[in-house]
Structure 1
Amino acid sequence: MKKIFKLLCFLLIVVIYSCDDILEEDITGDTVQIASPAEGQVVVGNTVQFLWQNLDGADNYRVQVLDQNQTLALDSLVSQNLLEYNLNEGSYQWRVKGENFAYETEFTFPVNFTVEVSDDLTNQSVLLSTPSDELYTNDTNITFTWNTLSSVDSYTSEVVKSNNGETTIYQEAGITTTSFNIDAALFDVDAEYIWKVKGVNTTSETTFSERSLFIDRVAPNIPTLNTPDDNITSTTEVTFNWTNGTDTGNIQSTVTNTIEIASDINFSSLLFSDDTQNNTYQYTFSNTGVYYWRVRAYDQAGNQSDNSITRTLTIE
């Protein structure tokens, strides 16, 4: 009877771990069909539209582009059958494959194409560099940068505050470098700020390229410790639980908790530290003795709460 029970448990485990494979379609023998750029195509301007046909059973597509030195210029995973990307003038190869949770196709055969400069900026765009899109930060001393675009005489930049409506807080035309800074005081409230850049010459201009930036200077609340209670005695395996600190500012982002365990109340002899977005952590102590634990919270912008109260536990 015990053997039958063990066999049933084993089969159940196999079924559970194989469930995703069973539900996913096997696409290993399929091939993604490329649409554009086609072999030998010349793309005029710096914005390349990569297009392929949807493949049944593929949840995502891996797109890779190699430059003329066979250096990877792009490696991106997308869920649609279209990807737009800015490339400098030169010769390239691109390929794509389909993927799902359990399977993937082979890459398509590399397709060669060329990017050529054009004086007409209408169908081109400025490739923004830093800061990255949707960055959360508490630093208002920011340098905005982008890549040089051929055939551009100058650039125009804008910064828009999005807070109960949109307000332009900065504009500058005739920029001949590839960066600008603004007065930190213009970031007067925590909010989403949209920064934009376009290229201009005597006959044409690009559309604005834009990214979002989130200024957040409010720290999360201090986490509240729940269990174990203070001054308890426990076995070596302990589950720590607390109420997460929350981000109460105007801009709210994911809050991460840092749990620390030490052998002294000042935490100068740190035994363990780890980050988690959960509100519980299980830890197994190697030695008996008296230990101390606490938790603090920080958000994506780098704001950090104070440490929680410290609790003591004795491991026997």
Structure 2
Amino acid sequence: MKIKNRILAALLIILGYFSCTKDIVETNISGSAVTLLSPQNNDTSVVLTQLFWWNEVKGALKYNLQIVKPSFTNANQLVLDSNVAGTKFSVTLTPGIYQWRVKAKNASSETPYSEIRTLKIDSTTNLSAQAVVLVSPANGDISNRHKQTFVWNPLYNATEYRFQVIDQSSSTLIDAIITKDSATYTLVDGQYTWQVRAQNASSNSTYSSRTLTIDSVAPAPSVPLLPANKDTITSPDTLTWTRTTAVYDSLFIYPDSLFSSVSFKAGTASTSAVFTTSVKGDYFWRLKSKDAAGNWSGYSTPLYKFWIK
């Protein structure tokens, strides 16, 4: 029976090894192909901001998008050579003839480049069908910096940009005409929508908008949960805690209450950490917490104590 159990255990270990190995082996995508979806080949458009779109390749981690002007065989301008996480990417172009192609990549392999497609952008002074591509801050950004620089891509035939910041109560706090592709303003804590449109003497583009939250208030520190204060545990053991508004914690474990040295320190987005030691005795632990805006709390109180037996 013991021999059978040992054989069974060995088989389970081998199966587990191959299962794990399968999980971490990356897919070889060199035999796959990227199919371009939009724009269609030989499209002509007066829309300056174009959405380039292709199919997903299984096993790909990113896609290399190349755009040249006027062609790959006679390129006089490399407009874009960028690795993109998804299968869509917006680019603002000036009038002219372009060619584009895409290949999929992961850490160990890549596909050949896709077919080459040609796109013609016609000139127009009418901005009503255009849209400004916003660059930064990212949509939904949460920041503890009051001074913010807002950046967007310039739009051909635009002579100026109308920039607005709107607060949570729909009040327009900033309404400015900007002649460049960025603007810097200082905002107080709050939730905002910022938007930009391009303008010239005869027309306006539609507004492009994003949200932004400014939060400079330190979060409450996370609260130690287990082991309970003055508890006795064995090593290794998992320390756990609860959060209020934090998204990240630094855990500190000390051999004394004077903090003369640190026995263990860990940073984690989780609400637990495993502590392992061969040294028995008293230990003290506390936390510092960070919120989504990057603000840090003070140390958690009271100081928790446990004993390793």
Instruction: Give the structure-1-normalised TM-score.
Output: 0.73
Q: Deviations over 1:226-259 (max 9, x none)?
A: 22234455544232122x2212xxxxxx622221
Give the superposition deviation at 1:156. 0.5
Gaps in structure 1 of 5+ consecutive residues: 248-253
Does 2:85 match 1:74?
A: no
1:279 equivalent among 271, 288, 292: 271
CA distance in 2: counterparts of 1:86 and 1:72, whole angstroms: 9
CA distance in 1: counterparts of 2:80 and 2:14, whole angstroms: 44
Other-structure match for 1:176: 179
With over 3 angstroms needed to count, the CA separation of the structure-2 counterparts of 1:290 and 1:144, relative to structure 1, is same
Other-structure match for 2:194: 195
1:305 alignment partner AA: S
CA distance in 2: counterparts of 1:4 and 1:98, whole angstroms: 42
Other-structure match for 1:132: 138
Other-structure match for 1:246: 244
Q: Is the 8 A contact 2:264 2:275 kept in 1?
A: no
Other-structure match for 1:95: 102
With over 3 angstroms needed to count, the CA separation of the structure-2 counterparts of 1:84 and 1:232, relative to structure 1, is closer
Q: Is the 8 A contact 1:220 1:255 kept in 2?
A: no
2:37 equivalent among 35, 38, 42: 35
Other-structure match for 1:250: none
CA distance in 2: counterparts of 1:300 and 1:39, whole angstroms: 43
With over 3 angstroms needed to count, the CA separation of the structure-2 counterparts of 1:149 and 1:139, relative to structure 1, is same
Instruction: Give the structure-2-normalised TM-score.
Output: 0.75
Give the superposition deviation at 1:153. 0.8
CA distance in 2: counterparts of 1:92 and 1:269, whole angstroms: 61
Q: Deviations over 1:199-247 (max 9, x none)?
A: 11122222111111023344433322222234455544232122x2212
Other-structure match for 1:50: 52
Does 2:126 match 1:123?
A: no
Q: Is the 8 A contact 1:147 1:178 kept in 2?
A: yes
Other-structure match for 1:156: 162
Other-structure match for 2:297: 305
Of 113-122 and 268-277, deviating more is 113-122
CA distance in 2: counterparts of 1:293 and 1:138, whole angstroms: 28
With over 3 angstroms needed to count, the CA separation of the structure-2 counterparts of 1:184 and 1:313, relative to structure 1, is same
Gaps in structure 2 of 5+ consecutive residues: 69-76
Other-structure match for 1:251: none
CA distance in 1: counterparts of 2:47 and 2:201, whole angstroms: 17
Percent identical residues: 26
